[in-house]
Amino acid sequence: MIKKLKLEESDKAYKKALELIPGAILGIRRPYNFVPGEYPIFFETGKGGKVTDVDGNEYIDMLCAYGPIIMGHREEEIDNAVIEQIQNKGFCMSLTQKVQNDLANKLRELIPSCEKSVFVKTGSDGTTTAIRIARGFTGRTKVLRCGYHGWHDWCVEVKGGVPEKFYEDVYEFHYNNLDELKTLIAEHSDEIAAVIITPVGHPLAFEVEMPKPGFLESVKEITKENGSVLIFDEIRSGFRVNLGGAQKEFGVTPDLSVFGKAMANGYAIGAVVGKAEIMDVLADKVFLSSTFFPNSLAQIAALKTIEIMERDNVLGVIKEKGNRFAEKVKKIVDECGFPVTFSGGPWMPFITFGKDANKLYKKRRNEFYTQLIRNGVFLQPFHHGYIAYRHTDEDLNYVAEKIKEALEICAKMK
């Protein structure tokens, strides 16, 4: 069995961070979300499809910064465009630079729901902006939600510090469950401002789901009849499933959409796009402003990222690689001899452990991800992974091989 990684520098930096920062690092990156004691806590560098931690251990990065890295780390063509903007024009000004218009026009070309758009910095900014727009447009208050939509008061999963009145008008239904949605529609009727849903289902710690035939179409028809605004949260699926988002891939166009993550290959940007008549409430009825929303660097990065993706058929290549990887791993998982599920292919691969008669699933999960990290494969036990353009066939074949070896070790556990 391969030895435990040397993580002295990572541990030292973690202890220091505990003195300086509450919890040392923010939520999802804390050690308890991995396998404590086995995973690094601090990275030092990234290049292409790989990352290196502060102790010098190198990994194939299958988490891709939780989704933003669509090309690869330190993509020179993108970074050089940003550097040129810094050196020749600047990026933080009292007025907006017109690169905003170039990016908005490109989104209009690509995304079916995009007639107008606004730019923010994060996915949570985007989903919260979309909800405010929907409430402003409809004059209604209640929201039906399906999926993870960020950390703001109305949608955060952990309710500490959030008064109930800030989320009392938000109701959850589950992906691919039309009956739940119809029940909520019947209960709240003309009070519903918006239905917000991830067009690809990725519930926390559970298998990734694709829409059942007719599901998204039915959600659209239901919201249309109800007079509420349909919002697709495409923070993860946008610029990964398709250049036009999952809405383009599945042929269902919402009223509003939210994009981010892969849009700028790691630079901080989000976008809310939608029908002009709905978006136009931002012109005079609904307020949105931030010192940093107009900063041009991420907009430059997004334009260059999209240019490369169009030019080099990046998403086609990722889909092809992802399908080969998914086919190989699914066969391995199906033959492992105990309850394990592979989901999310070709875009968001995830291996989850089902409950077993001997209640070994938690131990097996920990052992599985321990084996992967020791073998230089960086994935997360409770979150799906991603495929990046710079992942080579050799990388993905290696990952599949290590998945097989890890599952063989887990199968022997009693």
Quick check: helix, strand or coil at residue 338? coil
pLDDT digits (tens, 9 = 90+) for 100-157: 999 999 999 999 999 999 999 999 999 999 999 999 999 999 999 999 999 999 999 9
Is the CB of residue 238 less than 8 Å from the CB of residue 246?
A: yes
The model's pTM is 0.97
- For every residue of 200-212, DSSP letters joined together read SB--TTS--BPPP
Pick from 134, 170, 136, 137: which is nearest to 153 by CA? 170
**Within 13 Å, how many C-alpha atoms sit on residue 191's CB side?**
12
Predicted local distance difference test score (pLDDT) of residue 131:
98
> Computed from CA positions of residues 190, 192, 193, 196, in that sequence, does the dihedral angle turn out positive or negative?
negative
d(CA 390, CA 72): 5
Per-residue tokens: 235: 């923070």
Residues in the chain: 414
The residues, ordered by sequence, that sit 6+ positions from 226 with a Cβ below 8 Å of its Cβ are: 185, 189, 190, 192
Nearest-10 crossing angle of helices 314-334, 297-311: 80
In single-letter form, the type of residue at position 206 comes to F
Quick check: helix, strand or coil at residue 59? strand
Is the CB of residue 126 less than 8 Å from the CB of residue 120?
A: yes
Domains of the chain: 8-73+314-411 (3.90.1150.10), 76-311 (3.40.640.10)
Is the CB of residue 44 less than 8 Å from the CB of residue 267?
A: no
Give me the tens of pLDDT residue by residue for the chain, a chain 414 residues long: 689 999 999 999 999 999 999 999 999 999 999 999 999 999 999 999 999 999 999 999 999 999 999 999 999 999 999 999 999 999 999 999 999 999 999 999 999 999 999 999 999 999 999 999 999 999 999 999 999 999 999 999 999 999 999 999 999 999 999 999 999 999 999 999 999 999 999 988 899 999 999 999 999 999 999 999 999 999 999 999 999 999 999 999 999 999 999 999 999 999 999 999 999 999 999 999 999 999 999 999 999 999 999 999 999 999 999 999 999 999 999 999 999 999 999 999 999 999 988 889 999 999 999 999 999 999 999 999 999 999 999 999 999 999 999 999 999 998
Q: Which residues pair with 288 in a beta bridge?
A: none
CB neighbours of residue 15 within 10 Å: 11
Pick from 325, 319, 347: which is nearest to 401 by CA? 325
